[in-house]
Chains A and B, each alone.
Chain A
Amino acid sequence: MSLPSEGEGKSSTGWHHLHPAMLWFEAGRILRRMLVPLLIGGFAVSSREGGFRTFIIVSAIISAFGFVSSYLSFRYQLTADGIELREGIFTRRKRHIALARISHISTHQSALARLIGVVRLDIATEGGSEQEASFTALSLSAAEKIRQHVGDVGSVREEERTLYAASLRDRVLAGATTLQIGGAAAMGFLVWRYVRRLKPDESLEPGAPPTFFSGATAYVDELFAAISASPALIVLSIIVFLLGIWALSIVVSIVRWQGFRIIEHGAELHRQSGVFSRSRTVIARDRIQAVEVHASLVRNLLGYAQIAIVTAGSGGRERARSRIFIPLTSLDRASDYLLALWPDVREDVDWQPVHAYYRRQHINRGLLLLLPLTIVAYINVVPLYAAMLVPMSLIALGLAWLIWRTAAPSFAATGFALSDGYLHVRRGAVSPRRWLVATSSIQAVILQQSLMQRRHGVMNVVIDVNGLANNQRIAIPNLPRAQAEKMQMELTPRGLPVLS
Chain B
Amino acid sequence: MSIEPAAPQPEVGAAKQSPDASFERLSPNVRIVWLASRTVFWLVVITGLVIAREIGIIDAQWWQTWVFSPSPVWLIPPAHIALRLLSYAGWGYQLRQYDLLVRRGVVTRETIAIPLARIQQVGTSSSLFERLLGLTTLSVRTAGTRTARTRIPGLPSERASVLRDALSQKGHELAE
Contacts and interface: CB of A to CB of B under 8 A. Distances in A.
A7 interface: no
Contacts of B128: none
B109 A449 contact: yes
B120 A127 contact: yes
Interface in A443-459: 443-451, 454
A495 B147 contact: no
A232 B3 CA distance: 63
Which of B98, B109, B144 has the most chain A CB atoms closer than 10 A to its own CB?
B144
Contact of A490 (B5, B110, B142, B144): B5
11 contacts: A127-B143, A312-B143, A443-B118, A443-B144, A444-B115, A446-B146, A446-B147, A447-B113, A448-B109, A485-B16, A492-B98
Contacts, number: 119
A440 B1 contact: yes
Nearest first, the 4 closest Cβ-Cβ pairs linking A and B are: A443-B144, A464-B144, A468-B145, A444-B147
A420 B146 CA distance: 25
Nearest to A468: B145
A448 B114 CA distance: 14
Interface in A402-460: 418, 420-421, 438-440, 443-451, 454
A467 B145 CA distance: 6
Contacts of A448: 108-110
A339 B143 CA distance: 26
Interface in B1-34: 1-3, 5, 9-10, 16, 19
A468 B147 CA distance: 11
Contacts of B109: 448-450, 454
Contacts of B98: 492, 494
A489 B113 CA distance: 9
Nearest to B98: A494
A129 B148 contact: yes
A252 to B, nearest CB: 28
Contacts of A449: 108-110
Interface residues of A, number: 45
B127 to A, nearest CB: 24
B132 interface: no
A466 B144 contact: yes
B99 interface: yes
Interface residues of B, number: 34
A353 interface: no
B75 interface: no
Contacts of B169: none
A493 interface: yes
Contacts of A491: 3
Contacts of A485: 16, 19
B119 to A, nearest CB: 10
B175 interface: yes
Nearest to A439: B3
A444 B118 contact: yes
B111 interface: yes
A466 B10 CA distance: 25
Contact of A45 (B57, B142, B145): B57
A445 to B, nearest CB: 5
Interface in B62-92: none
A418 B57 contact: no
Interface in A108-132: 126-127, 129
Contacts of B143: 126-127, 312, 443, 466
Interface string A306-318: 0000001001100
A465 B108 contact: no
A462 B1 contact: no
A356 to B, nearest CB: 21
Nearest to A344: B1
B117 interface: yes
A404 B2 CA distance: 40
Interface string A347-378: 00000000000000000000000000000000
Contacts of B112: 444-447
B50 interface: no
Given A46-B57, A443-B142, A447-B111, A421 B16 contact: no
B115 A492 contact: yes
Interface string A464-483: 11111000000000000000
Contacts of B117: 493-496
Contacts of B111: 446-447, 488
B114 A444 contact: yes
Contacts of B2: 420-421, 439-440, 497
A466 B3 contact: no
B107 interface: yes
A98 B147 CA distance: 26
B174 interface: yes
A421 B1 contact: yes
Contacts of A62: none
Contact of B174 (A126, A312, A496): A496
Contacts of B144: 443-444, 464-466, 468
A307 B139 CA distance: 35
Nearest to A422: B1
A119 B85 CA distance: 53
A446 B118 contact: no
B6 to A, nearest CB: 10
A494 B9 CA distance: 9
Nearest to A45: B57
Contacts of B5: 418, 490
A156 interface: no
Contacts of A312: 143
Given A46-B57, A494-B98, 17 more contacts: A439-B2, A443-B114, A443-B118, A444-B142, A448-B109, A449-B108, A450-B108, A464-B144, A468-B146, A492-B99, A492-B115, A493-B115, A493-B117, A495-B174, A496-B117, A496-B174, A496-B175
A54 interface: no
Given A446-B112, A485-B19, A494-B115, A315 B145 contact: yes
Contacts of A126: 143
A489 B9 CA distance: 8
A499 interface: yes
